[in-house]
Structure 1
Amino acid sequence: MGAPGSWIITLLLFHLFGSGTSSPVFTNTPSLLPEILLPFPTVPVPTPPFISNSGESTQGVLCPLKLSPSTVVVRYGDPVKANCSIKRMGFPVLGWYLQLDPPVITYNGFLIWSVERMTNWTIKPVCFALAEQGGQCDIALTLIVYKPPDRVSITFVNHTGQMIEGDQYTVQCNVTEVAPVENLIVTFYRGQNILAQLQSNNSREKKPVTESFTLDIVSSKEDNGAEYWCEAKMELGPEGPQPPPVVASQKLFTKVLFAPEFLCPPKMMVTEGKTFTCEVTGNPQPSVTWFRDGQVVTLPSHLSKKDAGKYTIQAEGLSPKNFTVEVEILPVRGTANSCNGHFLLLGFLTQMINWL
């Protein structure tokens, strides 16, 4: 076994002759630090304690390291830094480690890792401490490097032009160059109404990707003139930017063809001398013809009792459609009853005068 101070000399050599930068790399950080950093190579190395997402070792007595902040969210190209500190004595060496880079160490109680411009999507900084009695402990910094999408667009899949009521269509939201895609939430809208919220199943890719999200819809007449659109939101947690970054698509204006509809009851009561009608809607706007007893008729502007009966409306639009209306003519109210009322009132007043 070497002298107790030999491992410190080894670290000093790395510190003096190795690079002190934390240049990003595109490889995964190993679970253990390089063997050369261990103080006593002949002594079995204890398994590093489990590291929680809080940035503190769950075995605080064995590994009293603390990261501040414990989770860092940084936009690609922006600066980033994190502080690692030790809670108690007995750990004279503190450092940051990245795969393929020499460790950066200090003999103080804290050490800040920083990068002026983050351009590495998969970097995994690890803070470690070496104990006086041998052994090591380490804790990984949770680092999320993100990039909002370059563009968000919406289209119909394999369809252009007008839609037909009752048919199924697929709306597609295309999100271009976003990272990490697992933190992306895509929301589909019709007007201001939310139709669906979708997320990617790709949880492994950290670099920017382009991904499409689809939603099946069944068109209705209410969709005529509606606007479909989508938005991509980066949900990066409380450590991320607030409010979360959002990029919206263009509006997709829709036209829906639908068959004629009759906006009137099947039985109508109309006062004598008045007229009636029935509103017919559709896209395209249907042409309307009225029939009575099998004959084409024009609705009279002043109805009489002889106009009572059944009328058939024939509408020609996206598809032909008929509708039958039964019309009942009501007598004019008020004239005879009003005269009778006046005579009764006059008789009553005359009788009252005679009594007086």
Structure 2
Amino acid sequence: MIEGKRYTLQCDIQGVSPVQLLTVNWYKGEYLVPKAHFTEIEISPSRNDTETPYSCEAELGLQKSIKVRSNPLKITVLYKPIITEKVIQRVPLFHGYPVVLSCVAIGYPEPTITWIFNNEISEVENLTVKEETGEYTCVAVNPLGNDTKVVTVVMEEDYLPLIAGFVAVVVVIISVIFILIYSIYYKNTKMGHYTVEGAKPNAQNGNIAQNGKDGTIPMKKILV
């Protein structure tokens, strides 16, 4: 059966008497089908009805009811392809970084997937694009129809090397500033202060007043 079309199922019942006491029920799986037209029923199957059993049940309303159900009828539903995966309509491409275009479809019979670019056909679900930009068309086909999706591949600039270079320069500048600040701090705090005591004055230094009883001159702390 083909999805969406209408079909009539008929239940043949023989050797029943009295016929006026006969009731016919239709079942889809184990569910009673409402509004069935006695021995016939109209259905419009969907793809989800594949392998779903239909059956009819004859019930004779005597003092003790008699019920007989037919063997189940399993149907196979054919339907045209539908591309199920959400295809991105615009895909960026960077130099040296290929992209993979994916196209997945369902249908019965199982559809054939092809990609079309510049009149060239590739029968693959996943197409690798390295450099060529433009419109790529995915086509899913089976005997009942087809479905298509278009993807536009555009070349983009790769800013990652520029960003990496900028970050490296900033790190170098920060490192140099840190080294300079540390060097100045170390020179001012770690070299220390020195005190020279008990040194005799040089006679050539001119007039120097003596301080202290032993004739020595206490020297001030000299910053080196």
* TM-score of the two chains, using structure 2 as the length reference: 0.52
Superposition deviation, residue 187 in structure 1: 3.4
Partner of 2:103: 278
Question: 1:198-239 deviations in whole A, cap 9, x for unaligned?
Answer: 48xxxxxxxxxxxx5211112333333332223456789xxx
CA distance in 1 between partners of 2:165 and 2:67 (Å): 74
| Residues 50, 76 of structure 2: 8 Å contact kept | yes
Partner of 1:249: 70
**Does residue 219 in structure 1 map to residue 58 in structure 2?**
no
Superposition deviation, residue 283 in structure 1: 2.4
CA distance in 1 between partners of 2:141 and 2:119 (Å): 17
Indicate how the Cα distance of structure 1 residues 291 and 183 shifts in structure 2: closer, same or farther if over 3 A, else same. same
Indicate how the Cα distance of structure 1 residues 258 and 198 shifts in structure 2: closer, same or farther if over 3 A, else same. closer
Q: How does 1:182-197 map to 2 (within 5 A)?
A: 182=21, 184=23, 186-189=25-28, 191-197=29-35
Task: Report the AA paired with residue 172 of structure 1.
Answer: Q
| Residues 258, 318 of structure 1: 8 Å contact kept | no
SS in 1 for 2:143: coil
**Does residue 260 in structure 1 map to residue 76 in structure 2?**
no
Q: How does 1:80-229 map to 2 (within 5 A)?
A: 163-175=1-13, 177=16, 182=21, 184=23, 186-189=25-28, 191-198=29-36, 213-229=39-55
SS in 1 for 2:78: strand
Task: Report the AA paired with residue 78 of structure 2.
Answer: L
Q: CA RMSD in A?
A: 4.6
Partner of 1:64: none
SS in 1 for 2:39: strand
CA distance in 2 between partners of 1:185 and 1:338 (Å): 78
| Residues 24, 56 of structure 2: 8 Å contact kept | no
Partner of 1:11: none
Superposition deviation, residue 169 in structure 1: 0.8
Greater relative CO (CA pairs within 8 A, separation 6+): 2
SS in 2 for 1:222: helix
CA distance in 2 between partners of 1:262 and 1:270 (Å): 18
* TM-score of the two chains, using structure 1 as the length reference: 0.36
| Residues 59, 66 of structure 2: 8 Å contact kept | yes
| Residues 113, 123 of structure 2: 8 Å contact kept | no
Query: Percent of aligned positions with the same letter in both sequences?
Result: 20
Indicate how the Cα distance of structure 1 residues 344 and 251 shifts in structure 2: closer, same or farther if over 3 A, else same. farther
Q: Which has the higher helix share?
A: 2
SS in 1 for 2:48: helix
Task: Report the AA paired with residue 250 of structure 1.
Answer: N
Where does the alignment leave 5 or more consecutive residues of structure 1 unmatched?
1-162, 200-211
Aligned residues: 172
| Residues 101, 128 of structure 2: 8 Å contact kept | no
Task: Report the AA paired with residue 227 of structure 1.
Answer: P
Indicate how the Cα distance of structure 1 residues 197 and 232 shifts in structure 2: closer, same or farther if over 3 A, else same. farther
Partner of 1:25: none
